[in-house]
């Protein structure tokens, strides 16, 4: 998670994106498979969320759309809980474990619209075999969200 937080911090320092970072880690080899930051505004593409960027890089690196292929034990570390889009993409990626920093309400508190998500999303993940850990280094992740808001960073999301 510290790598995800540092990637987010560097993204904010460089003015290249929103306050989100993610890392995909192979739990058996401890090898980082992908690091992503939010590039929505910088890349002019609504799908460039940190989780999607990290998962895409990991899939390209492993040569498979299924990160669990070959018996890998794959963890996605994210500085925040997934938005509605990422919530759907994560199970398809082959991730076995999700570790989140900030909560959905922390992200919404600074003005992001995370989309419509089922209240029991983490239970739905568990039923699919994905372990969820919440609030991991939450204070640090929230601090980056608050910094982004204080700096006047663009907030975006689905429109009514």
First to last CA, the chain: 33
Pick the catalytic residue: 51, 114, 140, 146? 51
Q: Is 51 an annotated catalytic residue?
A: yes
C-alpha–C-alpha distance, residues 153 and 160, integer Å: 21
CA-based radius of gyration for the chain: 14
Helix locations, 15-115, DSSP H: 40-43, 50-62, 84-93, 104-109
CB neighbourhood size of 109 (10 A)? 14
Q: Which residues are catalytic?
A: 51
């Amino acid at each position: 998670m510290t790598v995800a937080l540092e990637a987010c911090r560097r993204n904010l320092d460089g003015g290249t994106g929103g306050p989100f970072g993610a890392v995909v880690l192979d739990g058996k080899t401890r090898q980082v498979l992908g690091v992503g930051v939010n590039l929505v505004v910088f890349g002019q593409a609504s799908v460039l969320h940190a989780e999607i960027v990290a998962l895409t890089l990991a899939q390209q690196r492993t040569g498979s759309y299924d990160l669990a292929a070959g018996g890998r034990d794959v963890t996605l570390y994210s500085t925040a809980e997934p938005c509605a889009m990422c919530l759907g993409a994560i199970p398809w990626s082959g991730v076995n474990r999700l570790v989140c920093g900030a909560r959905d309400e922390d992200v919404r508190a600074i003005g992001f619209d995370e989309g419509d998500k089922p209240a029991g999303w983490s239970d739905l993940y568990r039923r699919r075999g994905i372990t969820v850990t919440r609030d991991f280094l939450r204070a640090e992740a929230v601090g980056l969200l608050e910094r982004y808001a204080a700096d006047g960073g663009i907030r975006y999301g689905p429109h009514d």
